[in-house]
Amino acid sequence: MRSICVFCGSRPGTDVSYADAARSLGTTLAAKEITLVYGGAHVGLMGTLADAAIKAGGEVVGVMPRALVEREISHEDLTKLHIVGSMHERKALMAGLSDGFVALPGGTGTLEEFFEVLTWAQLGEHGKPCGLLNVSNYYDPLLNLFDHMVEKGFVSKEHRAMVLVESEPADLLDAFSRYAPPRVPKWIGSSET
At the topology level, CATH places domain 3-177 in: Rossmann fold (3.40.50)
The 10 Å Cβ neighbour count of residue 38 is 28
Has residue 185 got a pLDDT over 90? Answer: no
pLDDT in tens, 58-76: 999 999 999 888 786 889 9
Q: Residue 164 pLDDT more than 70?
A: yes
Tally helices (H) and strands (E) across the chain.
8, 7
Q: Which long-range contacts (CB under 8 A, 24 or more apart) does 140-146 make?
A: 142/111
Torsion of CA 113, 33, 29, 80, to 10 degrees: -50
pLDDT of residue 193: 39
Closest CA to 64 of 46, 44, 84: 84
Q: What is the pLDDT of residue 189?
A: 57
Closest CA relative to residue 21, chosen from 182, 139, 108, 191:
139
**In this predicted structure, what is the pLDDT of residue 182?**
86
- Confirm whether pTM is higher than 0.85: yes
Task: Say how far apart CA 169 and CA 132 lie, in whole Å.
Answer: 10
Q: Domain ranges in the chain?
A: 3-177
**For residues 35-61, average pLDDT:** 97
Which pLDDT band holds residue 1 (cuts at 50, 70, 90)? Answer: confident
Give per-residue pLDDT as tens, 103-151.
Answer: 999 999 999 999 999 999 999 999 999 999 999 999 999 999 999 999 9
Beta strand segments in 12-100, E: 35-38, 60-65, 80-84
What's the pLDDT at 98?
98
Strand partners, 187: none
Q: How large is the average pLDDT for residues 33-47? A: 96
Q: Is the pLDDT of residue 187 over 60?
A: no
